[in-house]
Amino acid sequence: MTRLAVLALAALLCAVGTASACPTVLRIDVLDREQRLLRRANAVIDHDGRHALTVAHVLDGAAKIRWHLPSGRQPVARADPPDAIGDGIVRLPAPRLRAHSRTITATVPNGAPIRVLGNLVQMGAVVLKGTAGPPSRHPLLRGARELSAPLSEGLSGAAIVDEQCRLVGLAAFGLWSVTGQQAYFLPLMRQP
């Protein structure tokens, strides 16, 4: 094996090791009663593998959800009423999912570096860098935190992780309509 091939293999193994420690993020299509597409978003597989986490506004008008699984399968499941976890985060029953790693949650201080892990139709899997900001002062965004990352439509529900790839919260693109072009995330845990 050439030196270049060994270096490429080592880089691949490092990337796989890092990716397997991060939360598993799936693209979802939210469908109405006639199975027409309402919106595209993301969901994070919960540690039990039977549920996924996303943000509540993603499910407005939903009758069904098409799950884009890593295997390439795209099962469609009824959008059962979700369990609320916090301000705008919901826990959905999901079709036989398997998390690649146990999802570990954490909190981050203001100014801490974060990453957005998500899926966009046009680009596939994306990783965006940003910084965790303070809690929102907007009265309609109680519990949300500001985020300095370039979110775009379709990234709602994407995982927000810290530098150790622990799940901090979920991206909330739909909240932009309330305050303009400010990006937000909904934390899974309250700040101490």
| Tens digits of residue pLDDT in 162-190 | 999 989 999 887 555 555 556 788 888 65
pLDDT above 70 as % of the chain: 70
If DSSP codes are grouped into helix, strand and coil, which group holds residue 142? coil
Tokens of 30: 């939210």
Q: Give CATH for domain 113-187.
A: 2.40.10.10
What does the pLDDT read at residue 136?
Answer: 80
* Comparison of pLDDT for 147 and 79, the residue scoring more: 147
Tokens of 119: 């899926």
* Interval 23-33 mean pLDDT: 91
Residue 77 neighbours by CB distance under 10 Å: 14
What does the pLDDT read at residue 112?
Answer: 93
Considering the domain 25-93, what is its CATH architecture? Beta Barrel (2.40)
* Interval 74-98 mean pLDDT: 68
What does the pLDDT read at residue 159?
Answer: 93
Residue 96 neighbours by CB distance under 10 Å: 10
| Beta-carbon contacts of residue 21 (< 8 Å; ≥ 6 apart) | 101, 164, 165
For the chain, what are the domain ranges? Answer: 25-93, 113-187
How does strand 159-161 pair with strand 113-120? antiparallel
On the question of a common fold for 25-93 and 113-187, the answer reads yes
Report CA-CA distances (Å) from 2 to 11, 12, 139, 184: 14, 15, 60, 46
* Interval 136-160 mean pLDDT: 80
Local structure of residue 105 (DSSP, 8 states): B
* Interval 41-47 mean pLDDT: 87
What does the pLDDT read at residue 122?
Answer: 76
Task: Quote the CA–CA distance of 48 and 151 in Å, as a whole number.
Answer: 28
Q: How confident is the model at residue 76 (pLDDT cuts 50, 70, 90)?
A: confident
Starting at the edge strand that comes first in sequence, how are the strands of the sheet with 64-68 ordered?
A: 76-78, 64-68, 25-31, 37-45, 51-55, 89-93, 83-84
Q: How confident is the model at residue 114 (pLDDT cuts 50, 70, 90)?
A: very high
β-pair partners for 29: 40, 66
* Comparison of pLDDT for 190 and 123, the residue scoring more: 123
